[in-house]
Amino acid sequence: MITLTNVTRRFGALTAVDNLNLKVAAGTIFGLVGPDGAGKTTTIRMITGIMAVTSGSISLLGSENAENVKAQIGYVPQKFSLYGDLTVMENIRVIGALYGANKKRVNELGTEILAFTNLLPFKDRLADNLSGGMKQKLALAAGLMHRPKVFFLDEPTTGVDPVSRREFWQMLYRLNKEGMTIFVSTPYMDEAELCTQVAFMNQGQLVACDTPAHLKAAYPFRLLELKAEGKQIKKILAGCPILDINAFGDHYHLVTAPNAEVNLSVEAALKAAGVTGYALREIPPTLEDIFVHLAGGGEP
């Protein structure tokens, strides 16, 4: 359904996307992740035809010219881009008219989509007066007005509260179950876990692409989780045979060699520093661990 072959995009001396090769199958939820500046937005804009490639080729729905299939794709950009001085329903009517639907059809489809996105009770509210989560739902609703086959979303839940994020993803899952292909970029690893396939980009290049389960199975290190109070944990454990220490909220992930047995040395170091009430256990890696590893160029 989507194929990128040796795609490169340069902005002067800057190479934003470097020789990218990707294949996205129909009916999947494809996640694109990576740090800021990795090339995610540029990639989506090239696929949707908003931006030209410097070299390489892109096939979308069987065409190498996105203009030929624009009626079959939907797009929600990073920033809210609808009309703040119009109501929710007025925004929907404008979008529907742009796609050539008559007034009766726009009202019917708009009412259906606003009900689907739980925005129907707010149809007369100005878009500027919506919360961040509701604005993203409105952008989602607008992108669905022409029933696209492929839906592109560029970090649609950034800055949105956790409840709205969950509701947004529930809607994406419903759309996907109805046969729609979803292509979404996200900075949240818990959202990446929900994707059928995940591609990780860094500095314009594709570093890894696979299912979440296969990516985690390929993690080459042993991982320990340490729950302990104190701000000097990294300093305290400096003498232990640990490859890396990453903080995750109120706990730490200790990265070790695959067969390393470091529990005793970690516990000894903690006791010597007077740290009590800690908990140490081996855990499987999360996608966040995978991407910390990949962002470091394969080093722990």
Give the pLDDT means over successive 10-residue stretches in the chain (300 positions).
97 97 97 93 96 98 94 89 92 84 84 92 95 90 90 90 88 94 94 96 96 95 91 89 88 91 92 92 93 78
Q: What is the largest CA-CA distance in the chain?
A: 75
User: What phi and psi values does residue 279 have, to the nearest 5 degrees?
Assistant: -135, 135
Query: How many angstroms from the chain centroid is the CA of residue 119?
Result: 23
The structure tokens 């090339």 sit at 39
Tell me which of 2.60.40.1240, 3.90.870.20, 3.40.50.300, 3.30.300.30 is the CATH number of domain 2-215: 3.40.50.300
Tell me which of 3.20.20.80, 3.40.50.620, 3.20.10.10, 3.30.70.100 is the CATH number of domain 220-284: 3.30.70.100
Nearest CA among 67, 72, 59 for reference residue 21: 59
| DSSP helix, strand, coil percent of the chain (3-state; round to 5) | 35, 25, 35
Instruction: Compute how many other C-beta atoms are within 10 angstroms of the C-beta atom of residue 182.
Output: 22
Range(s) for CATH 3.30.70.100 in the chain? Answer: 220-284
pLDDT at 100: 72
Query: How many angstroms from the chain centroid is the CA of residue 154?
Result: 8
Burial class (CB in 10 A: 0-12, 13-18, 19+), 13: exposed
Q: What is the CA radius of gyration of the chain?
A: 23
Range(s) for CATH 3.40.50.300 in the chain? Answer: 2-215
pTM above 0.75, yes or no: yes
